[in-house]
Each structure stands twice: as C-alpha cells, then as structure tokens.
Amino acid sequence: MTQRPTRIRHVVLWLTVAAYMITYMDRVVISSAVPTIREEFGFSLETMGGILAAFRWGYALFQIPGGWLGDRLGPRLALTLIVGWWSAFTSLTALSWNEMSMRVFRFLFGVGEAGAFPIATRSLSRWMLPVERGYAQGITHAGSRIGAAVTPPLVVWLITSYGWRMPFFVFGVIGLLWAAAWYVYYRNTPGEHASVNKEELALIHQYAPPQKAGTHNVPWRGILSSSNLWTLSLMYFCYGYCLSVYLDWFPTYLNTHRGFNLKQMGFYASLPLIAGVAGDFLGGWLSDRIGHATGSLKLARKVVAVGGFLIAAAFILPATFTKDSLTCVWFTCVAFFGLELTVGVSWAVPLDIGGDYAGSVSAVMNTFGNVGGAISPSVLAWLVTAYGWNQPFVVASVMCLLGAILFARVDASKPILAT
C-alpha cells in the first residue's frame, strides 16, 4: 500500500526559520542597547554609527565567501560552523572595553553572520518544491523579523535588571544550542535523511533530480556574467539600505527624536517589525499563489515585490512628517509591511535562477544588500547631524522607489546556468 509522503522537508524548513530568528535576535540586541552603551562610554552619534557599520561591513564583505562555503562544504557542516562563530562573537561583544574593541567584535560577528542567509537558502534548494519556495523564503524571513520584534522588550528588561552586557551572553548561548541541533538533524540531501520515506523523496525528485552530496566547483564565470543577477543585486542594495535604517536606528529615533522613554522605546520599536512579519508571510505566499494561477514566475515575483516597494515609498513620508509620535509609529508599520512584502520574493529568485548554486547566487545579491546596509548607519548619522532626523527617511523613501524600478526588470523565469 502506498504511504503518504512524510514531511521532513517541513521540519527542515522550521529549523531554518529558527536560524533566521536567531540571526536577527543577535543583530538587533545592540540596537536596543545603543542608548545605554552611549551613556556608559560617552560615544557620539557618529561613533555609534561607525560601530553599527562595523557589523554591516563584515557582513557585506563575507557574503560571497559564506555562500561559497555552503556550496563547497554543504549546508550541514557550513551552517553549524558559522552559527557557532557568530554566537561566540555575540557574547564577546559584552566584553568590549572601548570603541575599537567593540568595532572589532561587531565586525567579526558580521563575518560569521555573513554566510547565514546564503547557506540557509542553499540548505533549502534540494528540499523545497518550486511551488513552496516563495512561501519558504517568506516564512524564514518572517522568522527573522519575529526574532527582531521580540528582542527589544526582552533586551530592555535584561538591561534594566542586569546591565547591557547580559543580553549578549544570553543570545550567544541560544545560537550555540541551535548549531548543535542542526548538525544532529539536518542532511544535505533528502536521500541522506533516514526519516524521509520513498514517497516524499519521489515528490521532491519530480522537481530536483537526486544528487550526490559532496563538494562542488562553483561556476563563478557563468554566475557573474548574468545581467539578471546584477539587476537583482542592485535592487537588494536599495532594500538593504532601508532595512538598516529601521533595524539599527529606529529605537534611537523613537527615544531621542520622538520622546519615548526606554521602556516605551522597546515596545513601539517592535510594532513595525511585527507588521514586517505579516509582510514576509504574505509576500512569499502571494507570489507562489500568483505563480500557480498564472504559470508565470516572472509575473508572480515582480507584481508582489514592486507593489511592496511602492507601499513603503509612499508611507515613509507621512510617518516622517507627522507631528504626532504615535501616528508616526502606525505609518511606519505600514511602510515596513510594504518593505517586507519584497523580501521573501527577493530570496525566492536565487532559488528560481540559481539551482544548485543558489547559495552563491544569493550571496552576490546579499553582498549588495549589505553594502547598502553598511553605508546606511554612517550616512544616517551624518544626515541627522547636518540636517535633522527627517532627511534620512526621505532618502529611504527614494531608495524604495528605485528598488521598485529595478525589480520590474528582474526575470525570475530565466535560469543563470543551463540545467
């Protein structure tokens, strides 16, 4: 008698969701701790911007090496190693004694996190069905935003109870526990996993032929000659710049410009991130539904992402110029919802066009995104010092508009390499 297919691929997906949660929990700890750190060390806004940018530069510069590592070693070992690395440097941030030590720890933390999304994308490439890819990328990025959303109130509580160093220790340990669970459960291909039955294996292999686990030589010439990839990457530069504005600076903006105290800051800084979770869920799911209904991946990816960027561009402006602080937060929720509609779709495209080299393809895209994110903290600090808090958000609105224009030129139905 034929059995129903097992759903081990969904367990793998949820383990990956947990990894995404941890990446953002670890990176936004410092955002909520900024006011306390500045008070203890006497850091200026520009100095703090440089410290925040140190993570972004480490993260940006090691995207391609991180993606290569995943394609070369396989996601099981590669992801275990890098999660262990960044978790260690999350905790070591708490031992910082001056500006330079904090810059170094945050840079090395970024080096570790750099491989997270490319390798995690690669980890799903041999497991998820094409009609599940948008949903998978949407739900993983929703997991990251849930991690970011629950972190500020928790960090504020830990800071007020134990000081600003304690959250870094706590979140570092969480990452080490996940790395151990991943190594024990995950396998690089479905065929290697003892719990996958033949029905699930046959279902997966309808779309992705079986492949032996092992090392691969990454065809960089073919990857880097794709104009489709460069357009995708420039679009993600715009996204990364805008995301950094909210992840790195929105709590400080609410505290210093909108007049919220530390506890209020922790609560209200979480609301746009919660709205972003809804955007992540909806964007990936809606793109898959449109693709299933129309048979056009190109249309399905484009409609959702372009629409999301336009929503963000439109709602950033009233959030910026309203006089009422609570109204600012609500408009920001809508803007961030729109911005996050794009992210699951953006990360589905490397799976669509990259195949077995989705890790390297997504690494190139994410390098550009995080160069944008690395530039953003320093640019914002300079703009605030020179022109006040409104100007950085006007720039973010323009970047969202540019992102919409670029995504309109992306073709998700065009593979980079012949299969």
- Write down the pLDDT at residue 207: 62
Q: Is 210 exposed, middle or buried (0-12, 13-18, 19+ CB in 10 A)?
A: exposed
Alpha carbon dihedral 241, 245, 247, 250, in 10-degree steps, equals -170
For residue 28, which of 292, 238, 309, 246 has the smallest C-alpha distance? 246
How many angstroms from the chain centroid is the CA of residue 67? 14
Structure confidence at residue 233 as a pLDDT band (50, 70, 90): very high
Winning range, highest mean pLDDT, from 73-77, 235-239, 298-302, 382-386: 235-239
State the Cα–Cα distance between residues 182 and 112, nearest whole angstrom.
16
Contact 33, 48 (CB under 8 A): no
- Write down the pLDDT at residue 211: 55
Structure confidence at residue 399 as a pLDDT band (50, 70, 90): very high
- 123 pLDDT above the threshold of 50: yes
- Does this model's pTM top 0.85? My answer is no
- Write down the pLDDT at residue 213: 47
- Phi (first) and psi of residue 412, to 5 degrees: -75, -10
Residue 373 DSSP code: H
- Write down the pLDDT at residue 109: 92
The larger pLDDT score, comparing residue 310 to residue 349, is at 310
Record the tokens describing residue 9, joined without a space: 């691929």
Record the tokens describing residue 102, joined without a space: 């904090």
Contacts of 280 (CB under 8 A, 6+ apart): 138, 139, 141, 142, 144, 145, 340, 341, 343, 344
State the Cα–Cα distance between residues 279 and 243, nearest whole angstrom.
13
Q: What is the mean pLDDT of residues 3-29?
A: 83
- Write down the pLDDT at residue 210: 56
Structure confidence at residue 419 as a pLDDT band (50, 70, 90): very low
For 388-410, where are the alpha helices, taking DSSP H only?
Answer: 390-407
For residue 298, which of 417, 132, 412 has the smallest C-alpha distance? 412
Contact 236, 406 (CB under 8 A): no
Record the tokens describing residue 89, joined without a space: 């440097």
Cα–Cα distance list, 194 to 2, 187, 214, 410 (Å): 18, 9, 18, 39
For residue 41, which of 410, 293, 50, 179 has the smallest C-alpha distance? 50
Record the tokens describing residue 153, joined without a space: 């109130």
Structure confidence at residue 216 as a pLDDT band (50, 70, 90): low
For residue 240, count other CB atoms closer than 10 A to its CB: 27
- Write down the pLDDT at residue 242: 92
- Write down the pLDDT at residue 223: 81
Contacts of 230 (CB under 8 A, 6+ apart): none
For residue 362, which of 4, 16, 69 has the smallest C-alpha distance? 69
Single-letter amino acid code for the residue at 368: F
- 229 pLDDT above the threshold of 80: yes
Q: What is the mean pLDDT of residues 339-361?
A: 81
What are the pLDDT digits (tens) for 52-75? 888 888 888 887 787 778 777 888
- Write down the pLDDT at residue 319: 94
Q: What is the mean pLDDT of residues 244-259?
A: 84
Three-state DSSP class for residue 63: helix
CATH class for the region spanning 8-407:
mainly alpha
- 132 pLDDT above the threshold of 90: no
Strands (E), 215-281: none
Q: Mean pLDDT in the chain?
A: 84
For residue 250, which of 141, 377, 410 has the smallest C-alpha distance? 377
- 178 pLDDT above the threshold of 90: yes
Q: What is the mean pLDDT of residues 106-134?
A: 80
Q: What is the mean pLDDT of residues 285-303?
A: 83
> Cα(first)–Cα(last) distance of the chain, in Å?
35
Contact 236, 365 (CB under 8 A): yes
Residue 4 DSSP code: P
Winning range, highest mean pLDDT, from 161-165, 166-170, 198-202, 296-300: 166-170
- Write down the pLDDT at residue 256: 84
User: Within 13 Å, how many C-alpha atoms sit on residue 276's CB side?
Assistant: 31
High-pLDDT (> 70) share of the chain, %: 94
High-pLDDT (> 90) share of the chain, %: 24
Strands (E), 62-135: none
Record the tokens describing residue 181, joined without a space: 């669970």
Q: Which residue ranges make up each domain of the chain?
A: 8-407
